[in-house]
């Protein structure tokens, strides 16, 4: 925009401002209009309004309403492996709205407990096959040009208890090993433009400073595509459970690859085959061989409203209700979601809601007139990489039922005539 044009815009702005408001004398106060006579008692005299409320919250961090005390991350003995350090706490996605998970509810998985990192002592070393090796303080890291992106992070074991049939009659425990947030950090390719990556570098080791010294190897292609080092989560500092002060973010790829409490990136010709990419995070196939280098979480979806936790009790025949769910793909962007009322025999097209972003949760819905009859609600999503969720039989025919990871077959909720919701498995 030229300077001349800009001056015109400025004058136009003021012209608009001056004429777009009506000016009346401040003293011309009319009497408030009375509410109608048949207004219910409660509208005038809500008991909480009869006394002064509590002061604005300052100098301390704000919390949810006490009435939301059940909307929390959860764990069970079934998920905890003997202790709660090498464990997981799962997100109440049955209570989720939109595509952002608040930081206080973001799912959390650690292998040696949550490290308590002092940011002033934080260092990130980048070395190996780079022209210039470097050790960065947090302030130095944050001086690189930043980016902000909305991405989900999902544990590859999300739904992994369900290979042989439903284990949890709960959306939170069956599918809550994932969350979605707005992340701020730096693309690693931006740092590598500064340091110079050697041509022979094909793999990157990412290592955490936590007690498990979590280590994972990443192909350089992914690093140069969209890998980030993130320090911001939904507009504030990354949470301790997410790797404060910084974690690796590999959009769409297994959560454990997104190494937390990051201390070191090393570039080399060959992969490392760390403990967590050989004994763990491999998928055992019926052949007795295991899939290694298993990275992107495949296209997936779930119904979130209704759910076993929030059934349709009290809903009457003929009433309108919004069936809702989430869809996500580590391969790209969701292009559509289908919804079935008969467990996957027939499907109708659901609507994608709000922002549809790459490697992000996408919310979908279907406006439904409740008939008071039993239903089998099944959703299936597809993405712009050309993938669609498989049926259970399609998936197990290739993967068997010994694996824990990367389950993305369709799931079904049974809705009873009374509106109760049960997690079932429909083979087809």
The residue behind tokens 């934080």 is 122
Task: Report long-range pairs for 142-146 (Cβ below 8 Å, ≥24 apart).
Answer: 142/186, 142/231, 144/186, 144/190, 144/191, 144/194, 145/186, 145/190, 146/184, 146/185, 146/186, 146/232
Among 205, 350, 381, 392, binds a second copy (CB under 8 A): 205
Judged by CB under 8 A, the chain residues 147 through 176 that form the site for a second copy are: 147-150
Instruction: Give the residue from 410, 425, 396, 400 showing the smallest Cα distance to 169.
Output: 425
**By CB under 8 A, what part of segment 220-279 binds a second copy?**
231-232, 234-237, 239-241, 244-245, 261, 263-264, 266, 268, 270, 272-275, 278-279
Task: Verify binding: residue 94, a second copy, rule CB under 8 A.
Answer: no
Are 229 and 188 in contact, with CB atoms under 8 Å apart?
A: yes
Per CB under 8 A, the list member of 21, 132, 221, 369 interacting with a second copy is 21
Largest CA distance in the chain: 85
Q: Is 210 in the site for a second copy (CB under 8 A)?
A: yes
Q: Hey, which residues between 379 and 398 contact a second copy (CB under 8 A)?
A: 382, 386-388, 390-391, 394, 398
Give min distance, CB of 58 to a second copy, in A: 4
Phi and psi based region of residue 11 (left: phi greater than 0; alpha: psi -120 to 50; beta: remaining): alpha
380 and 413 Cβ atoms separated by less than 8 Å:
no
Annotate each residue in 318-347 with x if it binds a second copy (CB under 8 A) or - if it does not, as one string: -xxxx-x-----------x-----------
Query: Which residue shows structure tokens 């209704």?
Result: 306
Distance separating alpha carbons of residues 376 and 247, to the nearest angstrom:
40
Distances (CA, A) of 354 to 99, 359, 382: 9, 15, 17
Residue number with CB closer to a second copy (162 or 276)? 276
Report if residue 316 touches a second copy, rule: CB under 8 A.
no
Q: Does 81 bind a second copy (CB under 8 A)?
A: no
Total chain residues near a second copy (CB under 8 A): 167
Q: Is 359 in the site for a second copy (CB under 8 A)?
A: no
Q: Is 98 near a second copy (CB under 8 A)?
A: yes
Residue 72: partners with Cβ closer than 8 Å, 6 or more residues away? 92, 105
- Based on CB atoms, which residue is closest to a second copy, 26 or 221? 26
* Residue choice 132, 200, 314, 369 for contact with a second copy (CB under 8 A): 314
| Shortest reach from residue 223's CB to a second copy, in Å | 16
Site for a second copy in 405-424 (CB under 8 A): none
335 vs 152: CA distance, rounded Å: 16
- What sign has the CA pseudo-torsion 152, 157, 163, 166? negative
Is 428 an interacting residue with respect to a second copy (CB under 8 A)? no
Q: Which stretch binds a second copy (CB under 8 A): 162-170, 204-212, 220-228, 413-421?
A: 204-212
Among 94, 114, 192, 251, binds a second copy (CB under 8 A): 114
The only residue of 182, 189, 219, 404 in contact with a second copy, by rule CB under 8 A: 182
Q: How far apart are CA 115 and CA 211, in angstroms?
A: 7
Gap between the Cα atoms of 272 and 6, Å rounded: 57
Least separation in angstroms between residue 228's CB and a second copy is 13
Q: Is 82 among the residues that bind a second copy (CB under 8 A)?
A: no
Q: Closer to a second copy at the Cβ: 4 or 279?
A: 279
In angstroms, rounded to a whole number, what is the distance separating the alpha carbons of residues 20 and 200?
64
Q: Could you say whether residue 23 binds a second copy (CB under 8 A)?
A: yes
Tell whether omega for the bond before 125 is within 30 degrees of 0, i.e. cis. Answer: no
């Amino acid at each position: 925009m030229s300077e001349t044009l800009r001056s015109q815009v400025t004058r136009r702005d003021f012209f608009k401002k001056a004429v777009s408001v009506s000016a009346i004398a401040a003293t011309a106060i009319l009497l408030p209009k009375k509410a109608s006579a048949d207004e219910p008692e409660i509208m005038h005299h809500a008991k909480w309004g009869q006394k002064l409320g509590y002061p604005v919250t300052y100098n301390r961090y704000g919390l949810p309403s006490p009435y939301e005390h059940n909307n929390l991350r959860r764990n069970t003995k079934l998920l905890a492996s003997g202790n709660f350090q090498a464990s997981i706490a799962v997100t109440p996605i049955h209570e989720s709205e939109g595509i952002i998970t608040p930081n206080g509810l973001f799912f959390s998985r650690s292998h040696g407990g949550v490290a308590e990192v002092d940011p002033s002592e934080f260092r990130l070393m980048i070395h190996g096959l780079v022209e210039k090796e470097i050790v960065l303080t947090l302030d130095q890291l944050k001086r690189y040009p930043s980016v902000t992106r909305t991405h989900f992070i999902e544990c590859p074991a999300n739904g992994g208890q369900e290979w042989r049939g439903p284990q949890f009659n709960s959306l939170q425990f069956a599918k809550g090993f994932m969350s979605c947030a707005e992340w701020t950090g730096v693309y690693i390719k931006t740092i590598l433009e500064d340091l110079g990556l050697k041509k022979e570098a094909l793999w990157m080791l990412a290592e955490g400073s936590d007690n498990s010294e979590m280590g994972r190897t990443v192909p350089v292609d992914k690093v140069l595509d969209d890998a980030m080092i993130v320090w911001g989560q939904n507009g504030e500092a990354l949470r301790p459970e997410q790797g404060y002060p910084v974690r690796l973010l590999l959009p769409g790829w297994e959560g454990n690859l997104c190494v937390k409490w990051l201390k070191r990136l090393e570039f080399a010709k060959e992969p490392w085959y760390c403990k967590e990419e050989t004994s763990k995070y491999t998928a055992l196939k019926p052949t007795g061989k295991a899939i290694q280098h298993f990275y992107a979480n495949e296209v997936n979806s779930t119904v979130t409203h209704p759910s076993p936790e929030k059934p349709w009790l009290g809903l009457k025949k003929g009433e309108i209700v919004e069936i809702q769910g989430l869809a996500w793909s580590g391969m790209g962007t969701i292009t559509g979601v289908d919804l079935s009322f008969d467990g996957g025999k027939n499907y109708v097209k659901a609507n994608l809601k709000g922002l549809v972003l790459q490697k992000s949760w996408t919310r979908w819905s279907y406006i439904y007139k409740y008939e008071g009859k039993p239903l089998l609600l099944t959703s299936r999503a597809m993405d712009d990489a050309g993938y669609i969720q498989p049926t259970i039989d399609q998936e197990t025919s290739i993967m068997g039922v010994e694996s824990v990871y990367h389950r993305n077959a369709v799931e079904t909720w049974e809705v009873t005539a009374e509106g109760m919701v049960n997690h079932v498995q429909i083979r087809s």
